[in-house]
Amino acid sequence: MSNPGTADNPLRVAVVGCGPSGFYVADAVLKTPGLVAQVDMFDRLPTPYGLVRYGVAPDHQEVKRVTKVYAKTAEHPSVRWFGGVEFGKHLTMDDVRAHYHAVAFTTGAQTDRRLDIPGEDLQGSHPATQFVAWYNGHPDCRHLSFDLSTERAVVIGVGNVAIDVARMLCRTPDELAKTDIADYALEALRKSRVREVLLVGRRGPAQAAFTNSEVEEVGELADADAVARPDEVALDEVTKADLAAHPDRQTDLKLKFLTKYAEPRALSKSKRLVFRFLLSPTKIHGDASGRVSGVTLVRNVLSAGADGSIKAKATGQTEEVSAGLVFRSVGYRGVALPGVPFREDWGTIPHEAGRVVDLARKAPVTGAYVAGWIKRGPSGVIGTNRACAVETVKSLAADLAAGKLLAPSAPRDAVTALLKGRGVSWVTFPEWSKVEALEVARGAAAGRPRVKFCSPEEIVAAARG
Ligand SMILES: Cc1cc2nc3c(=O)[nH]c(=O)nc-3n(C[C@H](O)[C@H](O)[C@H](O)COP(=O)(O)OP(=O)(O)OC[C@H]3O[C@@H](n4cnc5c(N)ncnc54)[C@H](O)[C@@H]3O)c2cc1C
Ligand SMILES: NC(=O)c1ccc[n+]([C@@H]2O[C@H](COP(=O)([O-])OP(=O)(O)OC[C@H]3O[C@@H](n4cnc5c(N)ncnc54)[C@H](OP(=O)(O)O)[C@@H]3O)[C@@H](O)[C@H]2O)c1
């Protein structure tokens, strides 16, 4: 038989994880010049698109349009999509070796980073990851509940996820009802008594991780005022020197928005989204029943490290904030996959230019590749994952040319027989397309982009109906 990658011996690639990175890997494989390939894509969920469906905020529908591009990849005649097949449970590394020349892991960052402060696990203290997955109808999080009967919520972290969480808490029911937010979350937020949401950054406004369009957007909410404090928005000497040495127009614009929010004015709306800076939480307090009642924040000052980075250093000055809800939004974290190398300290799969590396042997794992958040860590917007996937597929193509891939013993269809033999019943892409059409039709009736099915049972029923 000829080398893999030809018409009589197509290159067989498994892609594990079907968020943006999985689709960009599949697309880059299919578009590699002169390569004939067959791609099998697996996701543990019966739905594709990862965080585009379950992370991107419901009021950012325009961002979700990228899924139309991914659908074209999934519909390519050389691609098979398997929804509801979990690597590590239904499919192992040995299975992959028997059936594919190569595998790309694109499983994203499935959990959250912790603050490691007392009170973090009190009732009412939640990772933002779970709140986000809940309001987006993620099958794993649909049963969660959040007590929205409190007046004040505190969000720790000032990245784009933190601002998504704060904005969703500050939107009116009418604003939310135009989105594809999960129905149960819409009902819960309709009854919400949250009136003030604090976004707490450990460094200053210039170092805040959120992007300008997100900061600007919260100044235009229907019934919430965006507020900041003049003393916290004013630049400290360390930041002034840093900006003088490295002028940055994006930072200037961000400061302009935040300075505007800090201007004294009559606040007319019923909710407030309050930016706080230079504060770190040191303790989350609970009441007698074990529910969150407040947070201790310590005031920080900034100092420049030897590497030029600007760090927060705690002073002794503290502030008590009463609140019934705390969301920690300090980053996502990758999860290890059985039989695949993993760096516990970074929460990523170790790699060199996308080739998975065995840390003990300090050598690449034959046929194993990685892309996206599980490769780089949990940062970067959707488009960042495209270049990341392209780098990975270039490494794969170079290894193919050098004869360094796996040599599967089983034919292509053996993997479907294997899964059936294990009692796995997966959702195909044509079936998913039926689910999506039904969701959109349910939405059209209610003037919404879609009404999501949130339980695996409902999704499978819609797929097979
Ligand atoms: C709350 C939030 C909002 C965001 N909003 C925006 C935005 O508005 N605009 C923007 O450009 N970017 C946004 N991003 C960033 C963007 O979502 C990420 O860059 C992107 O989704 C990362 O892609 P990924 O494919 O690496 O991971 P993911 O999107 O997480 O996809 C990973 C996939 O792997 C699957 N998986 C995991 N484990 C297994 C397993 N064992 N077996 C099989 N499948 C598995 C998961 O089910 C998932 O479908 C947002 C991120 C978050 C967290
Ligand atoms: N609309 C959008 O485009 C959109 C929406 C959501 C997410 N995303 C993208 O998705 C990625 C992930 O977003 P993210 O918000 O999860 O991560 P992020 O951008 O890395 O922000 C994390 C925030 O947590 C803070 N933090 C970390 N550890 C902390 C600690 N121990 N105590 C207090 N604060 C701490 C960070 O502060 P320091 O800076 O001081 O470390 C930072 O403010 C980003 O690239 C983001 O742009 C994009």
| Chain segment 388-417, per-residue pLDDT in tens | 999 999 999 999 999 999 999 999 899 999
What's the confidence (pLDDT) of residue 465?
84
Looking at the structure, give the CATH architecture of the domain made up of residues 113-331: 3-Layer(bba) Sandwich (3.50)
Report d(CA 89, CA 337) in Å as an integer. Answer: 10
Q: Which residues make up the CATH 3.40.50.720 domain(s) of the chain?
A: 11-110+334-426
Average pLDDT, the chain: 97
* CB contact set of 127 (below 8 Å; sequence gap of 6+): 111, 112, 327, 328, 329
Which CATH number, 3.40.50.720, 2.40.440.10, 3.40.50.11900, 3.30.420.10, labels domain 11-110+334-426?
Answer: 3.40.50.720
Q: What is the pLDDT of residues 282-299, one digit of tens each?
A: 999 999 999 999 999 999
C-alpha 18 to ligand 2 mean position (Å): 23
Q: 87 in ligand 1 pocket by Cβ < 6 Å?
A: yes
63 in contact with ligand 1, CB cutoff 6 A: yes
Ligand 2 near 164 CB (within 6 A): yes
From the CA of 177, how far away is ligand 2's center (Å)? 27
Q: Give 380's pLDDT tier (boundaries 50, 70, 90).
A: very high
pLDDT given at position 338: 97
Ligand 2 neighbour 280 (Cβ under 6 A): yes
Sort 265 into a burial class: Cβ within 10 Å, 0-12 / 13-18 / 19+.
exposed
Residue nearest atom 17 in ligand 2 by C-alpha distance: 331
The confidence score (pLDDT) of residue 282 equals: 98
Q: Is the CB of 380 under 6 A from ligand 1?
A: yes
- pLDDT, tens only, 187-230: 999 999 999 999 999 999 999 999 999 999 999 999 999 999 99
Q: Which residues contact 137 (CB under 8 A, 6 or more apart)?
A: 54, 181, 182, 185, 452, 453, 454
pLDDT tens by residue, 125-167: 999 999 999 999 999 999 999 999 999 999 999 999 999 999 9
Backbone phi, psi, residue 366, to 5°: -55, 125
Q: Where in the chain is the domain with CATH 3.50.50.60?
A: 113-331
> Is pLDDT at 2 greater than 70 in this prediction?
no
Please give the number of the atom of ligand 2 that sits closest to the Cα of 57.
5
Alpha helices in 152-301 (DSSP H): 160-170, 173-176, 183-190, 212-217, 230-233, 237-245, 249-261
